[in-house]
Amino acid sequence: MDGMAELGTFSALMAGISLSAAAGLRVFLPVLALGLASRLGLLELGEQFAWLASDPVLMVVGIAALLEAGAYYIPVVDNLLDTLTTPAAVGGGTVIVASLLPEMNALLQWGTAALLGGGAAGIVQGTTVLARGVSTTSTGGLANPLIATSETGGSLITILLALLMPLVFGILVILALAWLLIRLIRLLRRRHTEAAPDT
């Protein structure tokens, strides 16, 4: 029985990490999916996070998800949104994982959630910010709607797979996040080296 409970907890954690990665693409869609999944009995939220599945929260988050997705198609606004949504994505990822963790010390719960959920969202969000910046510079923003569409679609697909096959997809997401993190670090180091004045 304990083994089944541990497997269920691990499965929920994998789903949480995947949903957090999706929050790096669109902040509100995974939060909406989390609340709906709780209502449908697919995921069990901690008692202090039951509000995420309440009607008012689902309505507000649903409207916010639509507005966020649409705003990324507006030139200039999309780059501004990246600045605003980066901390929101990290916060959203943190809340998602925290809501699915078993009862534990609050500091440990939020620390773990920030590392796993916030980290997952932050890595993905950082990648999309760089991609949009390159697109804006190289195409004058003409390719940005294509990036916006792929981000929304990617978020929806990630949410669906996180709920349907949390264990397998969660492991794949963790491997992808590790690869993205390595690539981001290398890119930032290269840019820092290129920007450094010759000595």
Delimit the domains of the chain by residue range. 2-195
Mean pLDDT of all residues belonging to the chain: 90
Q: How confident is the model at residue 199 (pLDDT cuts 50, 70, 90)?
A: very low
Rounded CA separation 104/44 (Å): 15
Q: How confident is the model at residue 3 (pLDDT cuts 50, 70, 90)?
A: low
Of 117, 138, 135, which is closest to residue 127 (Cα–Cα)?
135
The whole-number average pLDDT for the span 152-176 is 96
pTM of the predicted structure, to 2 decimals: 0.90
User: Which residue intervals of the chain are DSSP H helices?
Assistant: 2-23, 28-39, 55-71, 77-100, 106-113, 119-139, 144-164, 166-195
Question: Which residue is it, tokens 């264990």?
Answer: 167
| DSSP for residue 38 | H
pLDDT, tens digit, for every residue of 54-101? Answer: 999 999 999 999 999 999 998 778 878 888 888 999 999 999 999 999
Of 96, 149, 89, which is closest to residue 122 (Cα–Cα)?
89
